[in-house]
Amino acid sequence: MSDDKKRFLLRIDQTLYDQLARDAESENRSINAHIETILQKATQGKTFERRQIVGQVIEGTQINSENGLVTVAGIYYRYLISDNSTVDTTGRYAVTDAVGNILTLQKI
């Protein structure tokens, strides 16, 4: 074990442990490495957009394909459609990522 790693005791119930063990095995990781990966992902990119915008569902009518902007929570963002399709104004989209002022949208 590297000297820059910190050890600590973590108590979790058996059901959660079993789920983590299954997930770790499916990704060919140890349970420790799997939990470390989960924690790293959870602490990355704590921008306003990641905290408040990613995961929101928006209506296609909030997307303006003419000017390339989408309105989410009263703020205008540039956007990308995950599959590069054209905007369906009758559809619904989930915000799946936020990098700077650009949101990635996926039709649901």
Specify the CATH number for the domain of residue 77.
2.40.50.140
Domain that holds residue 28: 14-43
Q: What is the pLDDT of residue 48?
A: 62
Q: What is the pLDDT of residue 106?
A: 95
Per-residue pLDDT of the chain (108 residues; tens, 9 = 90+): 557 888 889 899 999 999 999 999 998 999 999 999 888 877 776 666 766 788 889 999 999 999 999 988 888 999 999 998 999 999 999 999 888 889 999 999
| Alpha-carbon span 52 to 24, nearest angstrom | 29
**Ordered DSSP codes for 32-68:** HHHHHHHHHHHHS---HHHHHTTT-EEEGGGEETTTT
Decide if 64 is inside a domain.
yes
| Alpha-carbon span 52 to 55, nearest angstrom | 8
Decide if 9 is inside a domain.
no
Q: What is the pLDDT of residue 16?
A: 93
Are residues 64 and 22 both part of a single domain?
no
| Alpha-carbon span 44 to 58, nearest angstrom | 24
Q: Give the count of domains, the chain.
A: 2
Are residues 21 and 62 both part of a single domain?
no
Decide if 8 is inside a domain.
no
Are residues 52 and 39 both part of a single domain?
no
Decide if 7 is inside a domain.
no
Decide if 95 is inside a domain.
yes
Residues 6+ apart with CB under 8 A from 37: 29
Decide if 74 is inside a domain.
yes
Decide if 33 is inside a domain.
yes
| Alpha-carbon span 82 to 25, nearest angstrom | 29
Orientation of helix 14-26 relative to helix 31-43, angle to 10°: 90
